[in-house]
Homo-oligomer: A and B are copies of this chain.
Amino acid sequence: MTLTTQFLINGKSDNGLSPLDRGLAYGDGVFRTLKVRQGLPDSWSLHYEKLKYDCGILEISCPDPELLLADIERLFTPEEEAIAKIVITRGAGHRGYAIPAAARPTRIVIRENNPHYPRDNFEHGVNLHLCNLRLSHQPRLAGIKHLNRLENVMARSEWSDGSLVDGVLLDQEDCVIECTMSNLFARMGKTLVTPSLDKCGVAGVTRQRILDNAPYLGYEAEVRALPLEQLMQADEVIICNSVFGAWQVRNFNNRKWPRQDLASRIQTMLRE
């Protein structure tokens, strides 16, 4: 069954967003993208916790989970597998950066079709682009999935070759941070290294799940600065997000990695 895109804004489907909404004016808000199966969002408690944490950093009051779950129940049929995007903004306000005392958060839930990724991505791995754009350091916003995403848009526009599924983003000090739509892990022997995101980047829920479950996969997890030259020495590289799970990187920056089993093992762990 193919539904077209649908949405609810504060539970209503009949009208668009106010152009005075600060989500539009300033990117003053946060979002989440997650899979919905049989009407239920995957890893809901982790996603909601992260949404609430991100809202907290911006001092936006996060809507109760019941409201969001009710929106999802209305938008998704029990038979389908699809994608929910949740956006929480500061709400509408008049011109000016000062946060209006009366601002009431806007809650948006959008239903999108599940993307059809080639089976090859899962079975043989993927190729990545190395982005020219360098992420800027802003410790006050680092890790948060906020609506200021022009860096990702500009980085993503660097390639159109369909065989490149994502692009690796470095910061201005030649450290690997993430990809435009995914987080990244490098296996060095028995250690899974993922870049620290205290200066820039988005700390995804799937990244967190892999960190939490690394010991069960037989690895030590390490969060630290990851210079590009160290990534190039990794035994295995994987990228991950809440929509596709985990893919092995096969080609990147003139290096090829042989097919190994970390991505599939993570994929299995994520399904549990």
Contacts from A to B (Cβ < 8 Å):
5, 7, 9, 15-28, 31, 33, 58-59, 83, 85, 87, 89-90, 94-99, 108, 110, 112, 115, 133, 136-138, 140-141, 146-157, 172, 180-181, 200
Contacts and interface: CB of A to CB of B under 8 A. Distances in A.
Given A15-B15, A33-B95, A25 B136 contact: no
Contacts of A115: 95
A9 B19 contact: yes
A17 B24 contact: yes
Contacts of A9: 16, 19
26 contacts: A5-B94, A15-B15, A15-B16, A19-B110, A20-B110, A24-B87, A25-B87, A25-B147, A26-B147, A26-B149, A26-B152, A26-B153, A27-B147, A28-B149, A59-B157, A90-B153, A95-B110, A95-B112, A96-B181, A97-B157, A98-B156, A136-B136, A136-B137, A137-B137, A140-B154, A148-B150
Which 9 pairs across A and B sit closest by C-beta, in order of nearness? A16-B16, A27-B27, A136-B136, A148-B148, A97-B156, A26-B149, A136-B138, A17-B17, A97-B152
Contacts of A5: 20, 94
Contacts of A172: 137
A59 B158 CA distance: 12
A79 B69 CA distance: 50
Given A16-B18, A99-B157, A149 B25 contact: yes
B137 A112 contact: no
Given A7-B20, A23-B24, A97 B149 contact: yes
Nearest to A29: B24
Given A27-B150, A136-B137, A19 B87 contact: yes
Contacts of A83: 95
Contact of A26 (B20, B108, B150, B200): B150
Contacts of A200: 136
Contacts of A31: 25
Nearest to A141: B150
A21 B21 CA distance: 12
Nearest to A199: B136
B133 A140 contact: yes
Contacts of A23: 24
